[in-house]
Amino acid sequence: MLMNLFKFKGGVKPPTNKTQSTTLPIAPAPLPSRLVVPLHQSIGGMPRPVVQAGDKVLKGQLIGEADGWISAAVHAPTSGTVLEVAMHAQPHPSGLDALCVVIEPDGKDEWIAREALDYKTLKPEEVRERLQQAGVVGLGGAVFPTHGKLTASKTVAMEELVVNGAECEPFITCDDLLMRERAEEVVRGIGIFRDLLQPKKVLIGIEDNKPEAAAAMRAAVTALNEPFLVVQVPTLYPAGGAKQLIRVLTGKEVPAAKRSTDLGVQCFNVATAYTAWRAIAHGEPVVSRIVTVSGNVHHPRNYEVLIGTPMDELLKLAQPHPDTDGIIMGGPMMGFLVPDMQVPVVKATNCLIAHDDRLFPPKPPEMPCIRCGACAEVCPHELQPFEMYWFARAKNFGKTQEYHIFDCIECGCCSFVCPSRIPLVQYFRFAKSEIWAREREKNAAEGAKARFEFKQLRDEREKAEKAEKLARAAAAQAAKKAAEAAAAAAAGDAPAEPAAATVAATPAENSQAVAPQGDFLRGAFDPEKAAKMATIQAAMERAKAQRAAIQPKNVESLSAEQQRTVAEIEARRAVLAPPPPETAAAAGESSQKAE
């Protein structure tokens, strides 16, 4: 069936260099001497190691447990012994180390018990969970956990499921060979995605320089009686970018600030569909992937490689020329030279290119920008690379953001056409990393400030709570003593020093004997003061009880000190006593008048 195709803006046509590695079928790479398996191989949380040095593991055994929903588990790629769980160099331009599980293979390549399932008997959430547990991630390079993309939106209907078999980057042919040789399993995997997302259409996009892959996929679709459309799209770099392929197949432009699902489209790579099928229908977690080995080698080819295989060991299989001086991971447009040739193959490794100066001659020195605009013409995201370049160079990172530097997908089209040989993408990567670093610093500072303020608040609250507790305890104690004294007095057993505490309660102190909670609520609460106030209140209570108990006939029997106290109490009672009836009546009258 013919369908209308759309164009995306810009794009370039670099030499494809693909035929070198497509003459031979995929070969299994032999077991390496050791496997260094990084725990963090997907976007999201870093899996927690669940093995330690000395443990025996089987192929497919869990070694890193997913940390949160956006995270994917990691498994032992073969059977053997865990040598260590330690930091090792990563295949990343930064060259930074990350936590890895190092396994010495035992040569048996013995699998765990694998549970094959008919996914149609499972609930959708069970399928998603199994994919997460099997470590299925986007193998097109983004390594986003696949299960996280398989929940249909509640607000936007799923219109199209786009399956990416474009593989537009030069040299890389792993998806091409996968589709040629394992098309049926790829299509079955797409069937799982379709059943979970329920799109109206499934479109499989393949660049028109892969006729064998397109034919194999069509045959599989027909054999499995699936209503999927296999569409050959024009070969134009970067047609394999998700947004570009969506544009070509559906005509929809995904705005920079939005996701394709906001427009009712979801996109997966063909290799991701394949691993999803293996995970569900065969119970095999992701322990290997297909990697193209090409460039400055005698025998370019695609290999099925265990995750964790050191890159130099893999490269040897293709017999590199002696002048090979490095390895590019990925293609020449978006890839990078790995910092160390022994770094491991990871789930994101689709291609290794043996580097030498003949294949990739050193670029002549960078020249000044002549503002020719060629870079802007080829940018698939309609950016203005020369403006971003100026501001990145001047370290005016705020301005680079105004020119939407974060919409740049680092496709390299602008650098490819620049007549001044300016490595534009490197400037953009530098600017982005600086912005991220500053953002991290800012967040760290804000976090520290928030923590300090929280600590202060907590200290104040604890102090106030402690004081309140003390005050309550003191008041309770005082009340108890007063009650005991009152009971004793009522029984005619007056204490030897009935009013000593009352004497200590000076008028000034008594004036403080207001409810301590009032002060606390006003934020002026002093625990020492509160305790003192409670003591004073208690003394007053005791005195009150004693006064009530002392009959005038007994006053003469008191000591001089006690008699003075009684006189003082009487004087206070006179002050605090309610007014005589006539005074009260007068006050009531004046009050009514005021109303």
Interface with ligand SF4 (CB under 6 A): 369-375, 378-381, 383, 385-386, 389, 408-414, 418-420, 422, 424-425, 428
Nearest approach in angstroms of CB 430 to ligand SF4 is 13
Alpha carbon 385 to its chain centroid, in Å, reads 30
Q: Note the maximum CA span of the chain.
A: 125
Nearest approach in angstroms of CB 409 to ligand SF4 is 5
Q: Closest CB to ligand SF4 among 231 and 422? A: 422
Q: Closest CB to ligand SF4 among 250 and 420? A: 420
- Residue carrying the six token digits 């693909």: 18
Q: Closest CB to ligand SF4 among 39 and 411? A: 411
Nearest approach in angstroms of CB 8 to ligand SF4 is 11
**Distances from the Cα of 286 to the Cαs of 278, 351, 457, in angstroms?**
8, 17, 49
Within 251-283, residue ranges assigned H as helices are: 270-281
Nearest approach in angstroms of CB 421 to ligand SF4 is 8
Q: Closest CB to ligand SF4 among 32 and 335? A: 335
Nearest approach in angstroms of CB 382 to ligand SF4 is 8
Rounded distance, CA 467 to CA 450, Å?
26
**Distances from the Cα of 151 to the Cαs of 154, 219, 565, in angstroms?**
9, 29, 83
Q: Closest CB to ligand SF4 among 144 and 428? A: 428
Instruction: Label residue 536 exposed, middle or buried (CB < 10 Å: 0-12, 13-18, 19+).
Output: buried
Q: Closest CB to ligand SF4 among 374 and 474? A: 374
> What residues contact residue 52 under an 8 Å CB cut-off, 6+ apart?
82, 85
Which long-range CB contacts under 8 A does 394-398 form with residues at least 24 apart? Answer: 395/434, 397/431, 397/434, 397/435, 397/438
Backbone angles phi, psi at 82, to 5 degrees: -75, 120
Q: Closest CB to ligand SF4 among 68 and 373? A: 373
Q: Closest CB to ligand SF4 among 89 and 418? A: 418
**Do residues 218 and 232 lie in contact, with contact meaning Cβ atoms separated by under 8 Å?**
no
DSSP state of 340: S
Nearest approach in angstroms of CB 333 to ligand SF4 is 9
Instruction: Kindly provide the residue ranges of all beta strands, DSSP E only, lying in 184-245, ordered along the sequence.
Output: 201-207, 229-233
Q: Closest CB to ligand SF4 among 408 and 482? A: 408
Total Cβ atoms within 10 A of residue 54: 9
Nearest approach in angstroms of CB 404 to ligand SF4 is 9
Laid out side by side, the sheet with 62-65 consists of 48-49, 62-65, 74-75
Nearest approach in angstroms of CB 380 to ligand SF4 is 6
Nearest approach in angstroms of CB 269 to ligand SF4 is 20
Nearest approach in angstroms of CB 370 to ligand SF4 is 5
Amino acid identity for residue 112 in this structure: I
Within 491-559, residue ranges assigned H as helices are: 500-504, 507-512, 516-521, 527-549, 552-555
Q: Closest CB to ligand SF4 among 360 and 406? A: 406
